[in-house]
Amino acid sequence: MSEVDPWDALRAATRARVGLGRAGDGLSTAENLRLAAAHAQARDAVHTALDADAIVTALGERAGPVVHSQAADRAEYLQRPDLGRRLAPDHGLEAGEHDLVVVLSDGLSARAVQDHAVAVVDALLPRLEGWSVAPVVVAEQARVALGDEIAVALGGRMVLVLIGERPGMSSPDSLGAYLTFEPRLGRVDSERNCVSNIRPPDGLTYEGAAEILAALLTESFRLQLSGVELKDTGAALPSGAG
């Protein structure tokens, strides 16, 4: 009869590495191999290019243009974060009047955007009935702040940036959502709100993320602000969270 491992219950409740055991003074061979595989997944997430055409196809009629930051390639993007925050001059965006601009950005994990961003848009937009939403922009070599300049160019009162978050050793595909009221150049992170770890089945579900985002966007418009003064006042995670 095999012994019950007391760590099994905790391992089942988290993706964190707990109770790894050891072989002598180090990790076992199996754990070392799992760690190396996770590290490789994280590196791949950072360096893999975004398939913008596939996202545009998935968005269908909701799709707007594909734009680029001033970072010429992935290497420059990683070495020069400032260039990832500025829009390339040949963007071709046309000014209008919109309540909301949605930007899908590769960030530090194109895989997260590829796997999850369109599904979040699918879940969110029906919750924003009556809102004027601009065609969804896809941005390459982009940081969060690039959304401010995109929204200004399009005439958006708010911007929502869905972006690949920095990969962890157990989360190479985590999607973050950043919303900013009255976006403009020079906005800082304290003037934004973030919903992170959107990555079912191991993180927040699409429906759960959409419910939180719709509530935050609505409240942001009501209060005419975003950032540290705008709070998620829900008593608990929404029913779609998991």
Residue 233 pLDDT: 66
Residue 126 pLDDT > 80, yes or no?
yes
Q: Can you give the pLDDT at residue 5?
A: 76
Summary mean pLDDT of the chain: 89
Which runs of E-coded beta strand occur in the chain? 63-68, 98-105, 136-140, 156-164, 175-181, 192-198
pLDDT in tens, 78-121: 999 999 999 999 888 999 999 999 999 999 999 999 999 999 99
Residue 241 is predicted with a pLDDT of: 42
Set out the domains of the chain in order of their start, with CATH numbers. 52-223 (3.40.50.11240)
Region 38-50: what's the mean pLDDT? 79
Mean pLDDT of 19-41: 76
Cβ–Cβ under 8 Å, residues 219 and 132: no
> What's residue 18's pLDDT?
74
Q: Which residue has the higher pLDDT, 190 or 18?
A: 190
> Is 69:146 a contact under the CB 8 Å cutoff?
yes
Encoding tokens for residue 176? 């973050």
**Could you tell me if 191 and 226 are in contact, meaning their C-beta atoms sit under 8 angstroms apart?**
yes
Percent of the chain, pLDDT > 90? 69
Q: Report the pLDDT value the prediction gives residue 161, as an integer from 0 to 100.
A: 98
**pLDDT for the residue numbered 24:** 77
- CA–CA gap between residue 235 and residue 222 (Å, rounded): 20
Give the annotated binding-site residues: 144, 165, 194
Ramachandran sector of residue 24 (left: φ over 0; alpha: ψ -120 to 50; beta: rest):
left
Residue pointed to by tokens 């009556």: 130
Q: Is 156 helix (H, G, I), strand (E, B) or coil?
A: strand
Residue where the block lists tokens 């699409």: 206
Does residue 236 carry a pLDDT above 50? no
pLDDT at 164: 96
Helix (H, G, I), strand (E, B) or coil at 27: coil
Q: Which residues make up each annotated binding site for adenosylcob(III)alamin?
A: 144, 165, 194
- Is-contact 161 120, C-beta < 8 A? no
pLDDT tens by residue, 146-201: 999 999 999 999 999 999 999 877 788 999 999 999 999 999 999 999 999 999 99
Confidence at residue 167, expressed as pLDDT on a 0 to 100 scale: 84
